[in-house]
A and B are shown apart, each in its own frame.
Chain A
Amino acid sequence: MHMSDGLISTPVAAVAAAGAAVLIAVAAAKVKKSTRSDLVPLTGVLGAFVFAAQMVNFAIPGTGSSGHIIGGVLLAAFLGPWAAFLALTAVLVIQCLVFADGGLLALGCNILNMAATSCLVAYPLVFRPVAGRSPSAPRIMAASVAACVVALELGALLVSAETELSGVTALSTARFLMLMTVIHLAIGMCEGLATGVVLGFVHRTRPALLYTATEEGEEPARKVHWRAVAVIALAAIVVGGGLSLAASSSPDGLEWSIEKITGSTEVVPQSAVAAAAGSLQEATAAMPDYNSTLAGIIGAAMVMLTLWGVCAMISTRSRKVKQM
């Protein structure tokens, strides 16, 4: 689900980055105020744990393929929502900078799509109410699956909205949304099962390590149950309604492309010399139906290849000089 910079526009990236920055500031303040003195190192090490756990794939039942966890709900179940959000954000930043997983400008989008949805929405509003105050193994599994499905579906919804608002896909909003939500429903189920298995293991061996809301003086889980349902329903109506309006008011892929092409057909030679050169070129060219778009692309690519060659030669020469 990591969004690349190639899929978003600068305004969408800026708005998402601003939203993510506010959430990071709030999370940092919450963690700083925490009564647990070991929360900072624990959060850091468990962030690294989720990263490491992502390196080991598990077999997806009935498919013959394998997958790995994302870990948002898992972290929140150990650390609480705000510390988990901070840890998962740190993981996303490192994945972006070190492993090129997701773009730097798209980082705000990725933080909202993956960390905020799982730690700040799905965990407090779904996992905790379903798991209850003294969870059993079946309840933990049910809560994990429900929370992960909600987190992944919300993430898919946000990815669709961000991509559509950026205007990079010719796929209509409704089709893109349907594709994303169906795929992420399956991914969410797998994520939920994997999260439930790990939490079940820890519940059996070291139950005290699971996060409880009361240790931070937060509201008991059961009280937020109906409010949670209302918030999710309201969000679904608002987002769904907004997207359907956008879908109906925007032109479809073909109309969009025709609009684009009619606005960019001004390829006219600027001078008599250019026109003469053009006709000569047309008469002698091996592929006379090349037009200006292709010529521009090929020209730019040739310049970049030349630049690369020159730069490579210069850096090789400077390395040799240093070695001498």
Chain B
Amino acid sequence: MSKIDSTLATLHALDRGEAQSCPSYASGAAACLLATLVYLAVMLSVPLQQLSRLVWMAAYPIVWSSLAGVGYGRLFVQSLYALPFIVFVGIFNPVFDTAPAFSLGGVVVSQGWVSFLSILLRGMLSVQAVLLLLRVCGFARICHTLRSWHVPAVFVAQLMLVYRYLGVLLEELRTMSRARMARAYGQRHLSLSLWGAMAGQLFLRSVERAGRVHRAMLARGFNGTMPCYVDAAGAGPDATAGRAVWVAGWAAVFGVLRFAPLDSLFRYNIIS
């Protein structure tokens, strides 16, 4: 599958909304977004040398994905795609930090390798949390939450427009790519000048489309702000209580995972 096709497939899967029957969906996007931000802040505050504590932090995406009915295995695989840049930065730790951390079958593992694995794990866990957030809440509900948090309306409108027209322009780009491939006789890469002409054509089509969009928006009473999705799950006192329980419950769990002496369960009594 080409990059364009896989991106379109991701967008279509999100639009279908996979997790609308889970408890976190009912508690509202604001609660999910807040819980995710708290999780990321707590998880990133774990020192790099405490790899075991970071492993405990995986409880959040594992449990939440189960509640949402999203397979954790798939999330795990998707989070692997985020690794290349993290590896590029972290790979120097084993080279420069050679102090011993532990030995494994006679082979000494350095502190650098522990911190390197911690960096990878931090990156993967954060990606998993964000992917889950979007799967559960959907992009429109997150935009609505941002608007209710007083993020400027113009910026929220940009988010919604870019998201909406991404799919449309990718369809257009796929048509252009297929036309080129049909005439390229197996030549995969575009030369820079040919790429420029293709991107330029796409730009001209985009501008024409923007003009049509603008006229259509004006015809429907556009006054500079985009109407937002109304979060039916987030209205009423029950929903407010549900949001508070969701965020406070997870915050308590994060506190336990971050500060409780969980390592001592294994450190002192099982293996010393």
Contact = CB atoms under 8 A, between A and B. Distances in A.
Nearest to A4: B123
Contact of B130 (A47, A52, A100): A100
A8 B44 contact: yes
B271 A40 contact: no
B139 interface: yes
Residue with the greatest number of chain A CB neighbours at <10 A, chosen from B79, B158, B191: B158
B230 interface: no
B247 interface: no
A28 B154 contact: yes
A231 interface: no
A110 B45 CA distance: 19
Interface stretch (B63-71, B231-239, B248-256): B63-71
Nearest to B96: A253
Instruction: Classify the secondary structure of B's interface with A.
Output: helix
A4 B118 CA distance: 13
A264 B14 CA distance: 45
Given A98-B134, A287-B105, A315-B69, A48 B97 contact: no
Contacts of B209: 45
B31 interface: no
A90 B162 contact: yes
Interface residues of B, number: 130
Given A104-B129, A169-B93, A296-B263, A254 B98 contact: yes
Instruction: Classify the secondary structure of A's interface with B.
Output: helix
A94 B163 contact: yes
B169 to A, nearest CB: 4
Contacts of B112: 170, 257
Interface stretch (A53-61, A125-133, A216-224, A238-246): A53-61
Contacts of A200: 196
B217 interface: yes
Nearest to B190: A58
Contacts of B82: 4, 100-101
Interface string A90-125: 110110111111011100000000000000000000
Contact of A45 (B122, B129, B165, B269): B165
Interface in B112-151: 112, 114-115, 119-124, 126-127, 129-131, 133-134, 139, 142, 151
Interface in B194-212: 194-200, 202-204, 206-207, 209-211
Given A9-B45, A61-B192, 15 more contacts: A6-B126, A10-B41, A24-B152, A44-B210, A47-B158, A56-B173, A58-B194, A87-B162, A98-B163, A197-B192, A270-B264, A270-B268, A271-B268, A277-B270, A290-B103
19 contacts: A5-B126, A24-B151, A27-B155, A42-B214, A51-B169, A52-B172, A58-B195, A59-B190, A90-B159, A97-B133, A100-B81, A100-B131, A169-B90, A202-B203, A209-B207, A257-B110, A279-B272, A297-B51, A312-B66
